[in-house]
Amino acid sequence: MNGKVLLTSAEAISYAVKLVKPEVISAYPITPQTHIVEKIAHFVETGELDAEFIRVEAEISALAVVIGAVAQGIRAFTATSSHGLLYMHELIHWSAGGRLPIVMAVANRAVGAPWNLWCDHQDMMSQRDTGWMQIFASNAQEAHDFIFLAYKVAEKVFIPCMVGIDGFILSHTAEPLYLVDSGVAEAFLPPLDFPLRLSNQNPFTLWPILEPPLYHRQRQDLFTDMEKSLKEWEKAFEHWEELTGRRYLPVEGYMLEDAHTALVCTGALSETAKVAVKQLRKKGEKVGLITLKLFRPMPKEHLLETAIHIERFIVLDRATSFGAEGILAQELRSAISGSRPVHSYIVSMGGKEVFPENIQEAYFKCIKYPEGATLWS
C-alpha cells in the first residue's frame, strides 16, 4: 500500500496485528480498548487472519489464554485498558517472570474510584515494576509501527511488551498513516522461535518452585536482560528505518539545540507540547521538548545524551505516585540523579483537556517556583 490511509490508533493496531499473524488472540471488552479486538475478531471471522479468537470471561483469563498459547511456542496477542490491566496484574508479573514474548496493546485510561473512562497513564505506569517492557505511542503511525517493533524485541529478549496508546485521544481519533506492507512485515518479523516451549518429546515442568538463591538469580537475569534489551530496541529501530524510512528513538528530542528548559512527557501529549514549545519560542523562551517513547527499559543514557545541556526539566505527568510526585517526574529525577532541577507538574488525570495554552501555563508556573512542590494544572 503506497498512499496514506485514515485510521484511528485502535484500527492502526488491529491492522498491524493482522500482519504480525498471531495464531491465538484472546480478549475481554473494556472501553476504550474494545475497537482493537473487535476489528481483529472481524479479520478472524472473514479469514483475513488465520487465527483462533478466544472470547473469555475476564481480562485475567485473556492473558492466561495467551500465556498458555505462547508457552507452547506460538505467537499470541491481547489488548486491554485501565481496570482490565489492573485485573491482569498477577499474570502481568507471572508472564514476565515466565519470560514469555507476549505483546499487549493498552488503551491508556484512568482508574477508579470514581469511574472515569478517559485518558491518563496511571494504568500502565502502575505496572512499571512487573518486568514488562513499555512503549508509549504519540500518534496512529507509531501505534501501528510499535506493534511490529514490540514483537521484534520481545521475541529477541523473551520479555513481554505493552504498547500504550492514549485512550480516546489516540484510540478513537482518526489520523492519516502509512500501513506497513506485508512483505516488509515478513522481512522484519520471522516466525517465532521460542526455545522454552513445552514438548512431549522432551518433557519438562515450566515454572516449578525455585529455591531462594536460584530465584534471586532468575530475577537478576530478568533485570539484566531488560537492560540489554535497549540495544535490541536500537537495532530494531534502525532496521525499521531501513525498511520503512520511518525513524524512531527511545527518547525523542524537539527544539532542544539551544534550549535551557525541557518539557518532558509521554504519549500523545507530545503533539500538543510541540505546539506549546513553538508558541513559547515566539515569546523568546529557550524551551524544547523531550518525549519518552520507551518507558521500560528506562533509556537513561539516551535521556542523558538528549538532555546533556538542559538546565531545568518540567515534567508533564499523566500519572501520580500519591505521597511522592508525578511518576514520570520521579523517573526523570532518578535518571539524571538529582544533578538538575526537576519540576513535577500533573498536567491531566482522567482526560482533563490539555491545550497548548495549558502547557504554556505549566511552563510559566513552574519557572516561578523552586523545585520540590508538585504542581497540578
Residues that bind another protein (CB under 8 A): 23-24, 26, 52, 54-58, 60-62, 64-74, 76, 90-91, 94, 198-200, 203-211, 214
72 vs 220, beta carbon nearer another protein: 72
199 vs 337, beta carbon nearer another protein: 199
33 vs 95, beta carbon nearer another protein: 95
Q: Which residues of 214-229 are buried (b: 16+ CB within 10 A; e: fewer)?
A: eeeeeeeebeebbeeb
Q: How far is the CB of 209 from another protein (least distance, A)?
A: 5
Task: Phi first, then psi: give them for residue 225, nearest 5 degrees.
Answer: -65, -35
Lookup result for grid cell 512503549: 135
Q: Is the peptide bond before 297 cis (omega within 30 degrees of 0)?
A: yes
Q: How far is the CB of 251 from another protein (least distance, A)?
A: 35
93 vs 312, beta carbon nearer another protein: 93
Strand order of the sheet with strand 375-376?
Answer: 251-254, 287-292, 261-265, 312-317, 342-346, 375-376
Beta bridge partners of 106: 80, 164
Q: How far is the CB of 206 from another protein (least distance, A)?
A: 5
Return left, alpha or beta for 82; rule: phi > 0 is left, psi -120 to 50 is alpha, else beta.
left
213 vs 370, beta carbon nearer another protein: 213
Q: How far is the CB of 126 from another protein (least distance, A)?
A: 19
Q: How far is the CB of 230 from another protein (least distance, A)?
A: 29
Q: How far is the CB of 56 from another protein (least distance, A)?
A: 6
Q: How far is the CB of 204 from another protein (least distance, A)?
A: 6
Three-class DSSP category at 294: strand
Q: Are 307 and 254 in contact (CB under 8 A)?
A: no
40 vs 149, beta carbon nearer another protein: 40
Q: Which residues have a Cβ under 8 Å from the Cβ of 23 and sit 6 or more positions away?
A: 50, 51, 52, 69, 74, 75, 76
Return left, alpha or beta for 213; rule: phi > 0 is left, psi -120 to 50 is alpha, else beta.
alpha
* Bridging pattern class, strands 261-265 and 133-136: unpaired
64 vs 327, beta carbon nearer another protein: 64
Q: How far is the CB of 265 from another protein (least distance, A)?
A: 35
Whole-angstrom Cα Rg for the chain: 20
Q: Do you know the residue count of the chain?
A: 377
